[in-house]
Amino acid sequence: MNVGPAHYAVLSAILFVIGLVGVSARRNVLAALASLSVLFSAPVVAAVGYAESGGGSIPRLGDALALFTLAALCAELLVGGAVAALLWRRAETADLDELAELDA
Amino acid sequence: MFYVLAALIVLAALASVLAPSARLVLVAVMACEVLVGVLLIAAGAYLLGAIATVVPALSLLGVTALLRRAGYAPLLADAPGLATGWPLPVGAAGAIGVLLVWVTATRVDDVATSTSGPNLITLVHYRTPVSVGVAVVLAVVAIAGGLMIGRTGDDERVVDRAAESRRLREQRSRLRREHRAAARSQRDVGGGSQ
């Protein structure tokens, strides 16, 4: 059975949903950050799968978009990790519910 | 090959959402990113796959190395589970997922293709050096931003030292109070028995 753009798109949708659940439902700041990484992987899979399966009229555009998404993923990990460390230093908690109460 | 990798990616992603400790979460998400990179290589995007395998894993290792330093260890310990009111976001994500799967699985072949060239995305066009340059600039800015945000300044070190000495002082005075109270109660018991 041939693997086409639809297969990559479905995998991308599943990853997106798993990441979205993690971001919105986890209480730990690092766990939410990790779920955000999973969420970021979804468009990478979709763009590359679509480009490599011969879809689209612009050659390699999917690869270029995936590269941007990967750069954004790394930026999110590095800046998010630094923010998590900063929050821990200031509030000594990694619980998003507690941090929201502190903010209020 | 695709199905095996897809199943492993989904399992790693699920583990990253459900793992009970932050350390396990980071390991699972690293496995997920590496597997996505392998999938891209298997799909034929060799360079991008290599980048996707190595760069996010290195970023995660950097974050883990930062958090393994003294003072951040509790951050990598047990992570609390789901937030209060989790059924609502899970339900919303499930609905979005059903919509995405339905649209992408049934309509992906109907995507209109234009023959007039890239009209909307003029920045990236399809010149790889431009997109690589922009991605590198973004990564460098992220590293610099992360270092700026996560660094410990001189004034913060002074404040941390003051807070630590105050904590020790308060601990010593509490222990003294407890000892005095224990001695007084012993004396009272002894006096009462005589």
Q: Which domains does chain A have, with CATH numbers?
A: 5-100 (1.10.287.3510)
Q: Do A75 and B55 touch (CB under 8 A)?
A: no
CA atoms within 13 A on the CB side of B64: 18
Compute CA distances A13 → A38, A76, B11, B120, B161, whole Å. 11, 20, 14, 24, 48
Q: Do A7 and B2 touch (CB under 8 A)?
A: yes
Measure in Å the smallest separation between the Cα of A17 and chain B Cα atoms: 5
Give pLDDT, residue B122: 44
Instruction: Compute the distance between CA of residue A46 and CA of residue A55 in angstroms, rounded to an integer.
Output: 11
Q: Nearest chain A Cα to B28, which residue?
A: A34
Q: Do A37 and B29 touch (CB under 8 A)?
A: yes
- Contact in structure between A22 and B16 (CB atoms under 8 Å): yes
pLDDT by residue (tens digit) across B39-90?
888 887 788 888 888 888 888 887 787 777 756 777 776 666 666 667 787 8
Over chain B, what is the mean pLDDT? 76
Give pLDDT, residue A59: 55
Q: Is A60 helix (H, G, I), strand (E, B) or coil?
A: coil
Q: Is the confidence metric ipTM above 0.95 for this complex? A: no
Q: Which of residues 53-112 of B touch A (CB under 8 A)?
A: 55-56, 59-60, 62-63, 66-67, 71-72, 74-76, 79-84, 86, 89-90, 92-94, 96-97, 100-101, 104-105, 108-109, 111
Confidence of residue B118 (pLDDT cuts 50, 70, 90): very low
Over chain A, what is the mean pLDDT? 79
pLDDT by residue (tens digit) across A17-56?
888 888 888 878 888 888 888 888 888 888 888 777 765 5
| pLDDT over threshold 50, residue A80 | yes
- Contact in structure between B51 and B40 (CB atoms under 8 Å): no
Measure in Å the smallest separation between the Cα of A80 and chain B Cα atoms: 8
pTM reported for the whole predicted model: 0.72
Residue A28 φ/ψ, nearest 5 degrees = -85, 135
Q: Do B48 and A70 touch (CB under 8 A)?
A: yes
Confidence of residue B110 (pLDDT cuts 50, 70, 90): low
The percentage of chain A sitting over the pLDDT mark of 70, rounded to a whole number, equals 88
